[in-house]
Amino acid sequence: MEELVVIGNGMVGHRLIEALHDRDSAHRWHITVVGEEPRTAYDRVALSSYFDGATAQDLSLGQVSGPHVDVHVNERATRIDRAHRTVTTTTGRVLPYDRLVLATGSTPFVPPIPGHDLPGCHVYRTIEDLDAITASAHGARTGVVIGGGLLGLEAANALRLLGLRAHVVELAPHLMPAQIDEGAGSLLRNLITDLGVHVHTGTASTAVHAADHGRVSHLTLGEDTRLDADLVVFSVGIRPRDDLARTAGLKVGERGGIVIDDTCTTSDPRIHAIGEAANHQGTVYGLIAPGNAMAEVVADQLLDGQATFTGADTSTKLKLLGVDVASFGDAHGRTPGALDVVVNDAAGGRYAKLVLSDDATTLLGGVLVGDATAYATLRPLVGSPLPDDPLTLITPEGTTALGADALPDSAQICSCNAVTKGELTQAIDHGNHDVPALKACTKAGTSCGSCVPMLKQVLAQAGIEQSKALCEHFPQSRAELVQTIRATGTTTFSALIRAHGTGHGCDICKPTVASILASLGSGHILEGEQATLQDTNDRYLANMQRNGTYSVVPRIPGGEVTPDKLIVIGEVARDFNLYTKITGGQRIDLFGARLEQLPHIWRRLVDAGFESGHAYGKSLRTVKSCVGTTWCRYGVQDSVGLAIRLEERYRGLRSPHKLKSAVSGCARECAEARGKDFGVIATDQGWNLYVGGNGGFTPRHADLLAGDLDEETLIRYIDRFLMFYVRTADRLQRTAPWIESLDGGLDHLREVIVHDRLGIADELEAAMDEHVASYTDEWAAVLADEDKLARFVSFANAPTTPDPTISFTTTRDQPVPRTPVNLGMPAHRPQEATR
């Protein structure tokens, strides 16, 4: 058995190991991997999701295991002895090799400006880097990212998610200069500025300055412009990790990178280089697709194949701060005689450019910003004759019409893994009849994921109807189950699964059916069998927090609250020693309540006139409001009064996903109504109703459904909209994707809600009236029922005993969980919080 040593356990190194392990059926190679990070390979493309709740385990690519694979982590290769064919590591380990692969990747470039190494200065490359940024963010207010490229904008979004005011400084005249042109860059700047990120282009950072305590205090831009900052992230490019190769005497490029030929072989025939460390024909690629292609070539070469690397697709599609950005082919039009076709809809937030051959018949490349729906179809067409008028291809109508059937079998659907339409079709012919099966068989869609919509189209073109089954226990979709339950009058999960499903149910169908039953008025969610179906939060009518405690959120309709009620909340927080925070939805969140304390807290709040705010449920959360005509000199309608009316009407409405709303008293939009599932904005004539907006991971503005409505008409339309959503949306589908999924989208919705095209308006309104009439406060109902109260104990055999694993420390005079996350907070003297 021959010895293969791979230096580097990043995504590209992992791809090589995976490919060789799968193909080496004769066990020709024993593989030894040396990786300097403290963990095995993880998805660096999705690194930013770490700030949005993903864990290191979620990002892990797994580990190729077997008797012929050894992986050493937290160990760095320090020397290559080409004469004796060995690699020495930091542990003193000496590894012999017959072939060596350098997958050492790259390092972030930090410009050598004064102060670049101060405490509070970071790079954005590894999970450890992200942990360090998180620690620095505690107590910080402003963060600056140096570099406005792909990774720089992701870093800016990370700072936003950490609660910092974010700035981006880019030397070029516009953002993402390597991928998009000036017109697209201008629109991208406007879109992300609207999201609260401050952009500085055409300027350089010349120094980082420290305050008296030694940490970053501000930057100098240009000659004398001051920019305050508590934290700096450098993201100005990468440099190939070629130091080992240089020391070993391998040929490197003039600007770095280990020189390789078309077989990914270096100047030493026994040594290969792949990924960001490699320099192929003067180019160092910084994307995953070329790295994967190199890995596949080396795997083939190691098994005596003839595969070669002759370049790679550098197309990119991603979402930056919620904004779609895509670039493919010759995006900058550098081909001699190239022609541009551009749609620049600044008002609509869309920019699209196609680059065509000089005779306008062949697609060479393109740029999409704001709406990248067409990317999945246009990118595979690069180098092919245009199937339609180019302008048509980048209008919304053309984007929808052009599908997989327009692509030849040679079109590359997945650029990250070089999978063609023909290969997908062949995989379908061999029985891979859904997206997960296609992913497993071909690896298409397993890297950046941008080609997944096209996988669905290829399946549809092959005549494969995609299952709408809720789960393995119910062949029906959620919407079909709603109709079944309504038609049969079913009131329990057990009866439904006996009559219309199979098995005993799972963690998908049980809470979904529980939500449907609650939406249709089947009693309190903790009544009888219903209680066993709920998710953790619904089961205890409170949100579980990271340390096993719960948060309590009383409803404060419209954000209006009396001083007496505020005093009660303060007293409850003081008496139970709860962390107190005002939320973005104009209410107060009380954190740190133990399970057995919940009823006692609810009793105090209910007696004062409060009720559950349903922060734990897939239901209406809040109806936010500005002060409207009551106080504001610009207000044209009573936004507070309407917000209270709406919140009291729709409170407790169980739905496929959470619902948020807002009412603004004028066009200045202080309540941010267009970022809600349904939002209302006052006009001189009445109210405008917007639907389908949301924040979260993919923010979206709501669209106007109807304008200048009187209050009664407005409420009728909202009744219809919400009930139609409750009855027809899929499980965990927010209103925005639900509207997009409707055949005809917003226009169809308007026909149903405003013009009653389906003739169901009266039925929808009656269903909402029934919900309003049957509403009861869930907290009060528990307090009135001894059986329900019995659920709220930490230990069944010791109901009054608190959970001993829960402990607290104090930060900013408030109790916070004593967990590892505290380690990144500013230094303070811990105080035990008596519970």
Strands (E), 46-93: 69-72, 77-81, 86-89
| Residues contacting residue 97 through CB under 8 Å, at least 6 positions apart | 3, 4, 5, 32, 85, 86, 87, 270
CB atoms within 10 A of CB 575: 11
- Transcribe 329-344 into DSSP letters: ESTT--STT-EEEEEE
CB atoms within 10 A of CB 198: 15
414 is in an annotated binding site: no
Q: What tokens does 327 get?
A: 């670039």
| Residues contacting residue 383 through CB under 8 Å, at least 6 positions apart | 329, 362, 363, 364
Report the C-alpha gap between 417 and 18 in whole angstroms.
13
Q: What tokens does 758 get?
A: 């389906």
Report the C-alpha gap between 697 and 52 in whole angstroms.
8
CB 119 within 8 A of CB 216: yes
Per-residue DSSP letter, 715: H
Q: What tokens does 613 get?
A: 């705010």
| Residues contacting residue 299 through CB under 8 Å, at least 6 positions apart | 16, 19, 20, 23
Report the C-alpha gap between 640 and 554 in whole angstroms.
18
Q: What tokens does 294 get?
A: 């190199």
Sign of the alpha-carbon torsion through 577, 581, 583, 587: positive
626 is in an annotated binding site: yes
823: exposed, middle or buried (Cβ count in 10 Å: 0-12, 13-18, 19+): exposed
| Residues contacting residue 660 through CB under 8 Å, at least 6 positions apart | 585, 620, 621, 622, 624, 676, 677, 694, 695
Report the C-alpha gap between 667 and 681 in whole angstroms.
7
CB atoms within 10 A of CB 127: 17
Helix (H, G, I), strand (E, B) or coil at 17: helix
Q: What tokens does 508 get?
A: 């998908």
Residue 231, φ and ψ in degrees, nearest 5: -155, 140
Shortest CA distance to 221 belongs to which of 211, 229, 230? Answer: 229
Calculate the CA dihedral of residues 693, 695, 697, 699 and round it to 10 degrees: 50
441 is in an annotated binding site: no
666 is in an annotated binding site: yes
Q: What tokens does 223 get?
A: 């000659």
742: exposed, middle or buried (Cβ count in 10 Å: 0-12, 13-18, 19+): middle
Binding-site residues for [4Fe-4S] cluster sit at 626, 632, 666, 670
Binding-site residues sit at 626, 632, 666, 670
Binding-site residues for siroheme sit at 670
